[in-house]
Amino acid sequence: MLTEREIDQASRLLIACWEQGRRLKALPEAIRPRTRAEGYAIQARIERHSAEPLFGWKIAATSKAGQAHIGVDGPMAGRLLAERVLPDGGATPLGANHMRVAEVEFAFRLGRDLPPRAAPYATEEVLAAVDTLHPAIEIPDSRYDDFVTVGAPQLIADNACAHLVLVGAAAKADWRRIDLAAHKGRGRNEGKFEREGSGANVLGDPRIALAWLANELRGLGITLARGQTVITGTIVKPIEVEPGDHVLADLGILGGLSIRFL
């Protein structure tokens, strides 16, 4: 079991790589997490380096294909830092990002707390705590040279590949009356290609994914807090990007947003 000092060392190393745009083959053996719990303990230290309240959470590996690609057997939670949130319609340099993809997602903003408790949260309870639904684009990245081989504990420690995110305006349509599993969404790399998917690509339903996140945090003793935003995983195959590209996400009546890459 990792000591508090080793957990802190691992977190500091990953944060330094994040800030400096460099990568590791893997965490050093002496400070490498062996379990999901140790991975989350390392990840939790990220908040200490943020000057603002936590923006929210992401869910990684929400499709069987995504899980198979990175060699994990289930989803993972990661923290979204306020400093890493981009404006809709803005631009960002790709810089040292080596994943170089954009992902089209549903985002749920909480209207009240979901604190830890003994009993699991039902999907209906979690949805009742949601205030608004938004379209979102995630721009993930990893601090590892080969993120598909390091395993779930190290990926969780690396904040589940969180990097940048943008969240669009709240949907004006009555999203609670929409079958989000069947709802279609599109991602377009302007002038190059377009891809379509549906909410079913996210653990079968983004509402189920949201409930999974609430219960994952519950098990860790963490409150999913009022005002936080949860992005539930990509509904289309990740969109490859390079400098000069313009990516648009379209969730139909639920809204859309865009980002340019420099």
User: pLDDT tens digits for 50-95?
Assistant: 999 999 999 999 887 788 878 888 999 999 999 999 999 999 999 9
How sure is the predictor about 204, in pLDDT bands with cuts at 50, 70 and 90? very high
Which one has a higher pLDDT value, 71 or 192?
Answer: 192
Residue 113 above 90 pLDDT? yes
CA 223 to chain centre: 17
Average pLDDT over residues 216-223: 98
How sure is the predictor about 246, in pLDDT bands with cuts at 50, 70 and 90? very high
Residue among 7, 55, 47, 54 nearest 31 (CA):
7
The pLDDT, as a whole number, for residue 49 is 87
User: pLDDT tens digits for 160-179?
Assistant: 999 999 999 999 999 999 99
Residue 261 above 90 pLDDT? yes
What amino acid is encoded at 214 in this protein? A
Average pLDDT over residues 207-225: 98
**104 in Cβ contact with 197 (< 8 Å):** yes
Model confidence pTM above 0.85 = yes
State whether the Cα torsion 141-237-39-122 is positive or negative: positive
Residue among 174, 176, 180 nearest 197 (CA):
180
Strand partners, 33: none
Distance in angstroms (rounded) separating the CA atoms of residues 133 and 37: 30
The pLDDT, as a whole number, for residue 69 is 79
CATH architecture group of domain 52-261 = Alpha-Beta Complex (3.90)
The position carrying tokens 């957990």 is 7
The pLDDT, as a whole number, for residue 10 is 98
Residue among 144, 133, 142 nearest 180 (CA):
133
The position carrying tokens 């305006």 is 169
User: pLDDT tens digits for 129-158?
Assistant: 999 999 999 999 999 999 999 999 999 999
Which one has a higher pLDDT value, 63 or 202?
Answer: 202
For the chain, which residues make up each domain, given as ranges? 52-261
The pLDDT, as a whole number, for residue 64 is 79
The pLDDT, as a whole number, for residue 24 is 96
User: pLDDT tens digits for 6-44?
Assistant: 999 999 999 999 999 999 999 999 999 999 999 999 999
The pLDDT, as a whole number, for residue 27 is 98
